[in-house]
Each structure stands twice: as C-alpha cells, then as structure tokens.
C-alpha cells in the first residue's frame, strides 16, 4: 500500500491514481494523516480490499504534501554508511549516532527551500515511519512496528551544524523546509527486500550520491530496536537513516547548494522528491 497526502487529505495511491481515505471509507477512517497513523492496522486491512475503480483522483506531484506532516519525534542517524563515515574522516561508529531534525522542518516532496546564510548541503536518506507505539521491541520484530518507508532529504547548513565544541547537529539541520519527505509512504510488504533498496541523490541531473540501503551499518530494524530500547516511539515518528557518500562538503573543492540548483532524491520502489532553492527568505 502507498499512502500520500493530496491537497491536505490522506489518500491511498495506486499508480498515478488515488482515493480519499475518508470518503472511500464512508467516514470510518479520518482525513487527517496523523489520525490515520494512529489506526494503522485497520487502515492497512481496509486499503487491501479497495477495488481499482475506487481510485477516482489524479495524483499531481505538486499537490502532494509530506506523508507525515506533524511527527512527534524525528530521529536522524549520522555516519550510517561506511563510505560516508570514511569521507567525513571517521571510523564506522559502534553505536548509532542520533540527533534530531526538529519537526518544524518537515515538508513535502516538491518544494522550494529558502537558503539561509552559510553552507547548505544535501543528504539523500531513506526514512522509516513508525506505525504503532513501540517500546523495547526486538530487532527480529522491529519491521512490524514500521508503517512504511519514504524518501527524505536531510538538508544541512554546515556552519550551524558544526559550530561549538562539541558540535550540536540538530539546529543546522532544522531550518524551514530542511526536511522534505515523500512522495508517498510505502508499506514494507511492497518491497522484495525492504533492507536492500537503491538510493540516489541527483544534483542538476548528475548522480552525486549512489548506494544501496543494505550498506547501512545499522539497518532499519536495528535502529528501531536500539531507539525503542531507550524511549517509546509513536505512530508517525520518523527515522532518517543516514546518507551515503557524496555530500557537498566532502567534495574537492566543497560544493554547496545555490539558488540555481535542483536536487532530486530517489529510492527504488518509493519514488523521488524534488527541491529547488531560492536566496529570497520569507
Ligand atoms: Zn543525515
């Protein structure tokens, strides 16, 4: 199942067609995507029964919003791909390095981001969406706690991210629009292997990042298990799972985003998100 948010309403997506959840369920399921995630098992069972002719809406990418617009918690993991850890000058970590992107930065799949002063960099990432309240789940059962996967960009302003000793990552990764996600949330059963997906970041059509998610040091189930060993996770919580090699500040010379750039982030079996940039700040 693929779930999206079209003109603010939760929809089930099949191909380029969609059906509004509330309308098609005759009011039994909510329009609001956050309320929908609270009833995830019911939603999944109901959507599986939908006939193709129920899909009466056309999906236009520009009308899609963040599949999870108001997550309570957003976790992000640093240095989770060995080549990226190496390019950043670190040995692969023994424990996940966790920070947050404050939820105010979460946005949809097709956006224009106002560039703050500084050095704004790209990080294509697989994002796992929690599907039920989860505390102390084992790695073996962790996929059952995941509603689905989506594409994310962990946009990062490197000056703010790295200032101070020790550096604190979270603010530099939380400027408005710095957490684009989408285009849809895809349930794990849709993938042949949800632990092995091609992930690509394209800057002006050039593939600057490319890997497979099986390269992760801490795969999705291990991250869910380790996070939930510490604190409860809630429906709709996001886990940005780390970025492959090829970020701009490790290029020689370093390369940062400008108003002329277009960034496309793509993951096999999910789709792609697209960001433009502007120097004009609201
Ligand atoms: Zn990241």
Full set of structural domains in the chain with CATH: 2-59 (no CATH), 74-278 (3.90.850.10)
Compute the average pLDDT of residues 191-215: 98
pLDDT at 147: 97
* Average pLDDT for 210-236: 98
Kindly give the distance from the C-alpha atom of residue 51 to the centroid of ligand 1, in angstroms, as a whole number: 39
CA 130 / ligand 1 centre spacing (Å): 18
CB atoms within 10 A of CB 256: 16
With the C-alpha atoms ordered 263, 267, 268, 274, is the resulting torsion angle positive or negative? negative
H helix or E strand, kind and range, residue 59 = none
Pick the closest to residue 237 from 127, 138, 163, 143 (CA basis): 127
If you measure from the C-alpha of residue 265 to the centroid of ligand 1, how many angstroms do you get, rounded to a whole number?
13
Write down how long the chain is. 282
- Ligand 1 center to 89 CA (angstroms): 15
Q: How far is the CA of 28 from the centre of ligand 1 (A)?
A: 38
Q: How many helices (H) and strands (E) does the chain have?
A: 6, 19
Sequence-distant contacts of 210-214: CB under 8 A, at least 24 apart: 210/244, 210/246, 211/81, 211/83, 211/244, 211/245, 213/126, 213/241, 213/267
How far, in Å, from the CA of 125 to the mean position of ligand 1?
Answer: 7
Query: Across-strand partners of 182?
Result: 151
- How many Å lie between the centroid of ligand 1 and the Cα of residue 174? 11
Distance from Cα 154 to the centre of ligand 1, integer Å: 5
Q: How far is the centre of ligand 1, averaged over its atoms, from the C-alpha of 78 (Å)?
A: 6
In the reported structure, the alpha carbon of residue 19 is separated from the centroid of ligand 1 by a whole-number distance in angstroms of: 33
What is the per-residue pLDDT for 88? 86
Q: What is the mean pLDDT of the chain?
A: 95
User: 126: CA distance to ligand 1 center in Å?
Assistant: 10
Confidence (pTM)? 0.97
**Which residues are 157's β-sheet partners?**
120
Nearest one of 113, 103, 81, 61 to 211, comparing CA atoms: 81
CA of 93 to the centre of ligand 1 (A): 14
Residue 183, pLDDT above cutoff 80: yes
- Residues 216-222 have a mean pLDDT of 98
How close is the Cα of 246 to the center of ligand 1, in Å?
12
* Whether residue 235 has pLDDT greater than 80: yes
Average pLDDT over residues 124-137: 97
Q: Is 54 left (phi over 0), alpha (psi -120 to 50) or beta?
A: alpha
How far, in Å, is the centroid of ligand 1 from the Cα of 243?
A: 5
Ligand 1 geometric centre to CA of 169 (Å): 10
**Cα(84) to centroid of ligand 1, in Å?**
10
Spell out the alpha helix ranges (H) of the chain.
Answer: 21-24, 33-38, 40-48, 82-87, 158-162, 220-228
Instruction: Indicate the burial class of 260 (C-beta count within 10 angstroms; 0-12, 13-18, 19 or more).
Output: exposed
pLDDT for position 184: 97
Cα 9 to averaged position of ligand 1 atoms, centre (Å): 28
Q: What is the pLDDT of residue 216?
A: 97
How far, in Å, from the CA of 96 to the mean position of ligand 1? 12
Mean pLDDT calculated for residue range 92-96: 91
Q: Which pLDDT value is given to residue 281?
A: 74
Instruction: Give me ligand 1 centre to Cα 77, in Å.
Output: 6
Helix (H, G, I), strand (E, B) or coil at 44: helix
Kindly state the percentage of the chain with pLDDT values over 90: 89
Q: What is the pLDDT of residues 23-79, one digit of tens each?
A: 999 999 999 999 999 999 889 889 989 999 999 999 988 899 999 999 999 999 999
User: For the segment 136-181, what is each residue's pLDDT rounded down to a tens digit?
Assistant: 999 999 999 999 999 999 999 999 999 999 888 999 999 999 999 9
Residue 160's φ and ψ, nearest 5 degrees, are -65, -40
d(CA 213, CA 197): 5
Tokens of 129: 């969406």
- Tell me how far apart the alpha carbons of residues 256 and 159 are, in angstroms, rounded to a whole number: 12
Q: Would the pLDDT of 189 be above 90? A: yes
Place of tokens 């809406």: 57
Confidence of residue 222 (pLDDT cuts 50, 70, 90): very high
What pLDDT was estimated at residue 85? 86
Bridge-based pairing of strands 146-153 and 74-78 is: unpaired
Measured from the Cβ of residue 166, the count of other Cβ atoms closer than 10 Å reads: 6
CB contact at 8 A, 81 and 215:
yes
Residue 25 alpha carbon to ligand 1 centre in Å: 37
Backbone dihedral angles phi then psi of residue 93, each to the nearest 5 degrees? -70, 150
């Amino acid at each position: 199942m693929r779930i999206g948010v079209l003109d603010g309403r939760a929809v089930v997506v099949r191909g380029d067609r969609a059906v509004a959840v509330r309308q098609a369920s005759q009011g039994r399921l909510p329009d609001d995507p956050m309320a929908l995630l609270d009833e995830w098992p019911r939603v999944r069972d109901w959507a599986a029964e939908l006939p193709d002719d129920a899909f009466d809406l056309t999906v236009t990418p520009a009308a899609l919003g963040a599949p999870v617009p108001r997550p309570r918690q957003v976790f992000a993991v640093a240095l989770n791909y060995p080549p990226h850890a190496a390019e950043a000058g670190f040995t692969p970590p023994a424990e996940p390095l966790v920070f947050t992107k404050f939820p105010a930065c979460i946005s949809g799949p097709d956006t224009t981001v106002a560039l703050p002063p500084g050095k704004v960099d790209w990080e294509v990432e697989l994002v796992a969406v929690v599907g039920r309240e989860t505390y102390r789940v084992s790695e073996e059962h962790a996929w059952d706690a995941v509603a689905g996967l989506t594409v994310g960009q962990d946009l990062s302003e490197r000056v703010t991210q790295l200032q101070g000793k020790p550096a604190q990552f979270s603010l530099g990764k939380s400027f408005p629009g710095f957490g684009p996600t989408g285009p849809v949330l895809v349930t794990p059963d849709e993938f042949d292997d949800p632990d092995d997906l091609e992930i690509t970041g394209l800057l002006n059509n050039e593939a600057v990042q490319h890997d497979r998610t099986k390269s992760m040091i801490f795969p999705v189930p291990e991250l869910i298990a380790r996070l939930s060993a510490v604190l409860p996770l809630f429906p709709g919580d996001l886990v940005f799972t780390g970025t492959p090699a090829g970020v701009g500040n490790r290029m020689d010379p370093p390369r940062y985003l400008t108003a002329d750039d277009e960034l496309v982030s793509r993951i096999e079996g999910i789709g792609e998100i697209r960001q433009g940039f502007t120097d004009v700040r609201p």
